[in-house]
Structure 1
C-alpha cells in the first residue's frame, strides 16, 4: 500500500499552520479528498484526462423511516463549479507536500490553467426524489468530473437531508403552524449552519434565527429571548416580571420565554397585563416541561396569544403533541433538524467516452449510461417514476433532470428561495399518502426502462467477457 507523509508534519516544518480553518471561495479547489487529486494526476499521466466522462450523484437507499428525499444544494454546487480554480500558491502548497513528486509536469499545467468546462444536468431544488435516481449528472473532461466529487456530495447530501426533514416537519405541523429554524448552535460547523438554515427555509420553514444566513438570503431573522436575560435581570431587579418589562422596552411586543422558573405563574402575570391593556404580546415560548399540559394551561390564561414550543422537537414529537391536543401554534426546530441520519449520496462514473460503465460490487451495483428520470402524474398526484436512458421518449411523462450548465456556463438564472420552497410544497403534496407518512412509509417504486435493462445486461456481459477484474470501490 502506498503511504503519504503526514501533512500536519509537513506544515509544521514549513511553518504554515492556519488553525482558524476558515473557508472562502478561493479555497474551493483544495476542499477535496486527496484521492480526487491523485486520480486526476494519474489520468494525466496516462493521457486520458480529457476523455469525456459522465458521473451521476444518487442515493443508494433512503434514510430509515424516510419515504422520499427533497433534492437541495444545487445552488451551492453550481457556485463551486463556477469558481473552481487553482492559484499559484495552492499549487506550490501541493508540490511542497512531496506527495506528487512522481507526477507528470503536465498535471501542474492542467491545474494552473484549469476551470470547469463541462455540462451539468440536475433535478430542480425542491423536487421529491427516491433511491437510485440521479439528482445530478456531471459531463466533463475526466479530470474535472473526478475532482469535483467531494464538494458536490458534501453540499448536496447535507442540504438534501435538512430540506427533507423540514418538508416532513411542515407536512406534519400543517401549513398554518409557524416553524422556526434554531439549529445554528448544534449544526456540525459554522458553514453547515448556513447551509442548514437555507435548506430548512427552502424545505418549508418560515424563518431562521441565524442572522448571517437570513441577511445573506434576503430574509428577516427571527427569535425570542434567552433564559439568561430573565435570570440576570430578575436577580438584579428582583422579579421575572421586571425582566419581561425590560425586554419589551427595547423590543415591544416580542415573544417572551416564560419557563425559566414557573411557567404558569409567569403566564398569570402576563395575562393580567394583557387583559388590562398594559402590554401587547405577540407570543410566548415554552422550552421545557410537559408541553401538552403546559400549553393548555397557558392557552386558558392567554387565549389570544400564540404559543411556541421548542426543546429537541422533531416531526414525530410534533405529531405526538398534536394527537394529544397540545395548544401550540408554532415550533422552534434545532438539534434534531440539523443532525440525524445521513443521506447516503454517492457519485459514480456511468459513461467514459461514450462507453457505458457500471459498478458491480455486491450491494453497490449501479446502472450504466447517462440517465433521465421520467415522472408521470394522475389527478395531480405522482403515479409512477421510470428510470431510463437520456434520449428515451418521454411521452406524457415529465423528465426531471434539466440541463443547468453547458460548457461551464449556467443555462438559467438562479431560482429564488421562495420558488424553491413552493416547489417543495407542491412536490410533497403530489406524493401518495403512504409515502408521506412517518410510520413505515412506502417509497415510490421506480420502474427501470426496458432500454436501461438491456444496456445493463450488455454492460455486465462485456465485463464478464473481459480479462479485467471487477471494479472495486472505496465506499
Structure 2
C-alpha cells in the first residue's frame, strides 16, 4: 500500500482535542490529497498558476426542481481566516508522508493566507444543475486546498435551505415552522449551520438555544415526554405534570400524546372550560396525525395544534390535503438529514487555458462561467449558462485579493430573497415531486468552446 495514502501511525507530540475547532485549525480541515497535490504543484512550479474552480451540482436530488444556494457567509469567513497552525505543521511533518516534498511546500503552509477572488450568487438564490454557486480565482495551491471546506459548508447548508424553502412552500405562509433537528444533525457544528440555513430558507426559528441566540432569534419549543412521565409518576397524574409546567411557563403549548391524546385533550378542555388554566396550544408527536388533529380540534376548538415526529414536505402535503387542522410543524430528522446535495468543485481554467472534465457521466463545462437569468414581470422564464466574458449575471464579486467587498446579508434579507426566488418559479418546478428537465440552456459561445475542447485529445496521451 502506498505510504502517502496510508502512513504508519505516529506518536504525535501534541495532545489535541477534536471536540472543538478554532480558526487556526481551519487550514488543515481538508482532505489529505489536497495537500499532496499542493506539494506536487510546488515541485512542478505550478503552485502560483492562476486557477479558476467552480462549485456546482451536476444533478439535483430526486424530486427537487431547484436548489437554494446557502453557506456563502461561512465560506468567506473561512477564507478570511485561512492559515495553518505551526504546531500542526510540525505534526504533519512528523507523519513522514511529505518527506519527499519540496522545502517550499512547508514555507507556503507557514505563511499561508487566501489572496484570491470569489464570485458567488447571493445566499437565498434559486439555482439549477451545472450552475456555479461559487467561483474561486486564486493561485492554484490555494484554490485546491480550500475545496474540502467549501463543499462541506455549502453542500450542507444548501440542502437545509432548499428543504426549508420546500417546507414553507407546501405548508403555506401562515403555518409556524420550527427547526427541531439539533439532535439529528451530523455534528454540533452542523446543528448551528442547519438552524441558520433553515431560518434563511423560510422557517420561523429553531429549538437550538445557542444557534437562536447567536443568530438573533428567540428559541422556541414545548416539552418532552420525560417531563410528563417524571412528574406524572411522582404526582400520580398527567394533569399534575401540565399544572407544574404551566406554573413556570403559563399558557405554553403542552405535549399531549405521552399516554392517550384524546383523554388528555378532554381533560384539558374541562380545565379550560372551568377557568382553571389558559392554553395556547398542544403538540402531537405520534399516531395518525390526520385523525388525531381533527378529534383534538373538536375537543379544543380554540387551541392551536402543533405537529412533529419525522415530518417532511411530503407528509405535510398529505396532512394539508386531508384537511388536518394543524397550525404549525416541528421539523427535525428529515430536514437535517436525507438525500445530500452532491456539489462538486472543478477546475475550469488555469493560466487562462480553459479546462474541462470529459469522463463519462461526469463531464463539466469549461472556462469561467456566468448565469444569465430571464424573467417576465418578475416571473422566472429560464436561465442561460454562458461564459463569464459574455456579461454580468447572477454571480457577483464578493471577495477581492482575499478581502471581503461587503458585509454578510442578515438572515431576514436572505429569507426574503429565498421567498422571492421560490415565488418567481413556475408551479411545476416548485412541485415537490418534480421530474422535469432543467430550465437551463447553454449559450452558443459556451457550447462552441465545449465542442472544441471535446475534440482535442490529451497531449501527450497518457
Tell me the TM-score normalised to structure 1 length.
Answer: 0.95
Contact 1:385-1:444 at 8 Å conserved across structures: no
Instruction: Specify the alignment match of 1:3 in structure 2.
Output: 3
More displaced, 225-234 or 271-280? Answer: 271-280
Instruction: Find out whether 1:385 has 2:383 as its counterpart.
Output: yes
> Once superposed, what is the RMSD of the aligned Cα atoms?
1.4
Q: 2:218 aligns with which of 196, 216, 220?
A: 220
Tell me the CA shift for residue 426 of structure 1: 0.6
Output the CA distance in 2 between the equivalents of 1:366 and 1:290: 47
Contact 2:308-2:331 at 8 Å conserved across structures: yes
Aligned pairs (5 A) from 1:442-453: 442-453=436-447
Instruction: Find out whether 1:407 has 2:401 as its counterpart.
Output: yes
Tell me the CA shift for residue 108 of structure 1: 0.8
Instruction: Specify the alignment match of 1:58 in structure 2.
Output: 56
Instruction: Specify the alignment match of 1:31 in structure 2.
Output: 29
Output the CA distance in 2 between the equivalents of 1:207 and 1:332: 10
Instruction: Specify the alignment match of 1:467 in structure 2.
Output: 460
SS at match of 1:385: strand
Aligned pairs (5 A) from 1:73-152: 73-152=71-150
Contact 2:170-2:313 at 8 Å conserved across structures: yes
Paired positions, count? 462
Contact 2:202-2:415 at 8 Å conserved across structures: yes
Output the CA distance in 2 between the equivalents of 1:100 and 1:454: 42
Instruction: Specify the alignment match of 1:294 in structure 2.
Output: 292
Instruction: Specify the alignment match of 1:320 in structure 2.
Output: 318
Instruction: Specify the alignment match of 2:425 in structure 1.
Output: 431
Q: Structure 2 unaligned segments of length 5 or more: list them.
A: none
Output the CA distance in 1 between the equivalents of 2:458 and 2:94: 44
Output the CA distance in 1 between the equivalents of 2:426 and 2:140: 40
More displaced, 223-232 or 18-27? Answer: 18-27
Q: Structure 1 unaligned segments of length 5 or more: list them.
A: 470-475
Output the CA distance in 2 between the equivalents of 1:296 and 1:240: 22
SS at match of 1:455: helix
Output the CA distance in 1 between the equivalents of 2:40 and 2:104: 11
CA shift digits 1:257-303 (9 cap, x unpaired): 00001111111111122223322222100001111111111111211
SS at match of 1:48: coil
SS at match of 1:347: strand
4+ residue stretches of structure 1 with deviation over 6 A? Answer: none
Output the CA distance in 2 between the equivalents of 1:8 and 1:260: 53
Tell me the CA shift for residue 421 of structure 1: 0.6
Q: 2:410 aligns with which of 416, 435, 450?
A: 416
Tell me the CA shift for residue 334 of structure 1: 0.6
CA shift digits 1:183-227 (9 cap, x unpaired): 111111111111111111111001111111111111111100010
Output the CA distance in 2 between the equivalents of 1:29 and 1:206: 34
Contact 2:281-2:303 at 8 Å conserved across structures: yes
Instruction: Specify the alignment match of 1:259 in structure 2.
Output: 257
Instruction: Find out whether 1:311 has 2:302 as its counterpart.
Output: no
Output the CA distance in 1 between the equivalents of 2:16 and 2:7: 13
Tell me the CA shift for residue 465 of structure 1: 6.7
Output the CA distance in 2 between the equivalents of 1:378 and 1:319: 29
Output the CA distance in 1 between the equivalents of 2:437 and 2:240: 53
Contact 1:68-1:443 at 8 Å conserved across structures: no
